[in-house]
């Protein structure tokens, strides 16, 4: 019983202390205790939760469902992120779970790509082999495109014509790509061009203009046959990029020379998107002077008295012998005893010359013509040499007068009313934001200060209450100890209470075995005549103070 009473003593003290609080103090104390309990519970929950790490990311819905089913069956805690495409598991189990999922064939990417070729048997027909190879290539391209940061998933379809030995010309392969982007992200022009080049480089005989790219919303990003992927507003985008780049370079020069906001530059460009292939041949003269490409010559000579060979036949009086061979006679012999003669020669010569063949292919996007317009504020132009400024603008914009470029630098008064109003509005907005922030901080500080003051007041009141209760308890223990030393109760005297002698026996003067009896007598006396006991105690206290 004594141990139970000792264990309940702190609860009694807390209850008595709480009962001495006012209503406001009780509310603050309850809120404070509730806040501490809630904060402790949240901290314990946060500290006890395991650290979650991605098990797999960028999963298909079917793979995510199969993996979560496996985790549920094994009782492993997990969390889903990125709309279910990422699965988080405790960090200390991630490697073991990856091994288990791999043993179960998850994720199911093993059924796509070149892994399809491993499933072919020796009895597969040529059509099956060709179809499996095309499916494997489509899967590999889709996986590669899905590795782009802004792409969530991709699907590739190839149209590859069959080879026909009886066809004069081979068909051109084409491809279509469906790209599903991540929420809030889009494919840039550079990324679209990368997809085009990636697919075209993976299929023999395919060019980037044979690839069509569409996003998940059905927007055409690149159409087949659009000139190297320049589909939709791609040409306008390239033109706008060039104009913006040149205008930004000019604006930097103008801001340094004239001052910020004192000049504005505008660039209009005409880009050539034609894909032109030109071939040039150049002939150079050899050393020694020019020569004709072709030379022909003929020479005949006859000497003797015989008939001349005319038209391929021997003229004169010659006699033909066997095999139509002319037999010379006396008439054909010379006077000096020698036979007559005939000489014929022909020359056909092809002279070589130096020849150079050059084939040039112009890339689309060259500048065909551009116009640059610069307007300077009249107030700022007074301190600037306009001729020198025009020369600087011409050089900075890369203006070429030979191709018809135009540069115009003029001065006009700027309307600053809008800029001043905007500046004033921006300053007012900044001031209002700063004032609102200060007000919020002051309100927060005031609330915190009030809460701290209330807590401080409650703490001081509780401390005073505790001290007062402790002092009263000590006084009560002292008075009870003194009353235990009183002798056995006697009948009440006839004399008034004031005539009772003010003498308080010491506790050590009583025998130890009579302490319990004296305590019972005091309790009995207090129950029978509490007023008399109270007067006696007051008289003792008054005597002690004296």
**pLDDT at residue 518 in the model:** 66
Residue 312 has pLDDT above 60, yes or no: no
Taking the alpha carbons at both ends of the chain, their separation in whole angstroms is 41
Mean pLDDT, to the nearest integer, of 26-54? Answer: 78
Task: Tell me which of 359 and 501 has the higher pLDDT.
Answer: 359
Q: Given this model, what pLDDT does residue 310 score? A: 47
Q: What is the pLDDT of residue 375?
A: 92
Three-state DSSP at 58 gives coil
Residue 370 pLDDT grade (very low, low, confident, very high; cuts 50, 70, 90):
very high
Tokens 């288990």 belong to 100
Distances (CA, A) of 480 to 399, 473, 485: 112, 10, 9
User: Pick from 142, 192, 137: which is nearest to 159 by CA?
Assistant: 137
The span from the CA of 201 to the CA of 288, in Å, is: 51
Angstrom distance (rounded) from CA 95 to CA 97: 5
Write down the pLDDT at residue 230: 45
How confident is the model at residue 165, as a pLDDT? Answer: 66
Contact in structure between 368 and 272 (CB atoms under 8 Å):
yes
Mean pLDDT of the chain: 76
Q: At what angle do helices 61-74 and 94-103 cross, to 10 degrees?
A: 110
Q: Please calculate the CA angle 476-479-483 and round it to the nearest 5 degrees.
A: 135
| Res. 372 pLDDT band, cuts 50 70 90 | very high
CA–CA distance, 51 with 126 (Å, rounded to integer): 52
Reduce the DSSP state of residue 296 to 3 states and report it: strand
Q: Are 264 and 372 in contact (CB under 8 A)?
A: no
pLDDT of residue 443: 83
CB of 158 within 8 A of CB of 200?
A: no
If pLDDT is split at 50, 70 and 90, which confidence band does 45 have? confident
pLDDT tens column, 492-521: 554 444 444 444 444 444 454 555 666 777
Query: Given this model, what pLDDT does residue 267 score?
Result: 93
Asked if 246 and 340 count as a contact pair (C-beta separation under 8 A), the reply is no
Contact 56, 104 (CB under 8 A): no
Residue 244 contacts residue 212 (beta carbons within 8 Å): no
CA distances in angstroms from 231 to 223, 235, 277, listed in the order given: 6, 7, 21
Please count the CA atoms within 13 angstroms of the CA of 159 that sit on its side-chain side.
Answer: 10
Q: Which residues pair with 412 in a beta bridge?
A: 377
Question: Looking at residues 465-489, what average pLDDT do you find?
Answer: 63
* The length of the chain, given as a count of residues: 546
On the question of pLDDT at 231 being above 50, the answer is: no
Cα distance between residue 254 and residue 243, in whole Å: 16
Sequence-distant contacts of 468-476: CB under 8 A, at least 24 apart: 469/13, 469/16, 469/17, 469/20
Closest CA to 149 of 112, 108, 179, 178: 179
Q: Kindly indicate the confidence band of residue 229, based on its pLDDT and cuts at 50, 70 and 90.
A: very low
């Amino acid at each position: 019983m004594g141990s139970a009473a000792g264990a309940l003593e702190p609860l009694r003290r807390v209850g008595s202390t709480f009962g001495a609080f006012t209503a406001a103090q009780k509310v603050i104390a309850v809120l404070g205790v509730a806040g501490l309990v809630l904060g402790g519970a949240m901290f314990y929950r946060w500290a006890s939760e395991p650290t979650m790490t991605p098990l797999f990311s960028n999963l298909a819905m079917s793979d995510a469902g199969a993996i979560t089913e496996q985790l549920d069956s094994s009782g492993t805690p997990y969390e889903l992120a990125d709309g279910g495409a990422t699965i988080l598991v405790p960090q200390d189990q991630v490697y073991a779970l990856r091994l288990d999922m791999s043993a179960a064939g998850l994720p199911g990417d093993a059924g796509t790509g070149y892994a399809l070729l491993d499933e072919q048997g020796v009895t597969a027909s040529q059509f099956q082999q060709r179809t499996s190879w095309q499916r494997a290539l489509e899967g590999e391209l889709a996986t590669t495109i899905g590795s782009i940061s802004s792409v969530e998933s991709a699907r590739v379809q190839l149209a590859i014509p069959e080879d026909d030995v009886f066809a004069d010309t081979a068909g051109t392969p084409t491809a279509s790509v469906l790209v599903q982007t991540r929420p809030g992200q889009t494919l840039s022009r550079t990324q679209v061009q990368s997809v085009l080049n990636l697919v075209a480089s993976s299929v023999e005989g395919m060019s980037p203009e044979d690839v069509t790219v569409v996003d998940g919303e059905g927007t055409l990003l690149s159409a087949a046959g659009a000139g190297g992927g320049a589909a939709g507003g791609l040409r306008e985008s390239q033109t706008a990029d060039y104009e913006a780049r040149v205008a930004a370079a000019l604006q930097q020069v103008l801001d340094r020379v004239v001052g910020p906001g004192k000049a504005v530059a505008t660039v209009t460009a005409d880009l050539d998107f034609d894909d032109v292939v030109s071939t040039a041949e150049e002939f150079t003269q050899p050393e020694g002077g020019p020569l004709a490409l072709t030379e022909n010559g003929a020479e005949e000579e006859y000497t003797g008295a015989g008939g001349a060979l005319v038209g391929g036949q021997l003229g004169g009086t010659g006699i033909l012998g066997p095999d139509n061979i002319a037999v010379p006679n006396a008439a054909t012999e010379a006077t000096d005893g020698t036979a007559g003669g005939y000489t014929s020669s022909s020359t056909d010569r092809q002279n070589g010359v130096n020849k150079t063949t050059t084939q040039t292919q112009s890339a689309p996007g060259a500048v065909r013509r551009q116009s640059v317009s610069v307007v300077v504020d009249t107030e700022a132009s007074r301190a600037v040499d306009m001729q020198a400024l025009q020369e600087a603008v011409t050089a900075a914009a890369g203006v070429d007068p030979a191709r018809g470029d135009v540069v115009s630098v003029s001065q006009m008064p700027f309307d600053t009313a809008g800029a001043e109003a905007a500046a004033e509005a921006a300053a007012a907005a900044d001031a209002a934001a700063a004032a609102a922030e200060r007000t919020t901080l002051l309100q927060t500080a005031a609330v915190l200060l009030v809460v701290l003051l209330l807590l401080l007041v409650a703490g001081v009141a509780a401390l005073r209450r505790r001290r007062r209760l402790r002092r009263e308890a000590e006084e009560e223990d002292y008075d009870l100890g003194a009353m235990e030393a009183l002798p056995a109760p006697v009948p009440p005297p006839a004399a008034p209470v004031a005539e009772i002698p003010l003498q308080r026996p010491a506790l050590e003067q009583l025998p130890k075995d009579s302490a319990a009896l004296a305590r019972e007598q005091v309790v009995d006396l207090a129950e029978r005549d509490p007023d008399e006991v109270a007067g006696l105690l007051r008289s003792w206290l008054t005597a002690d103070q004296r």
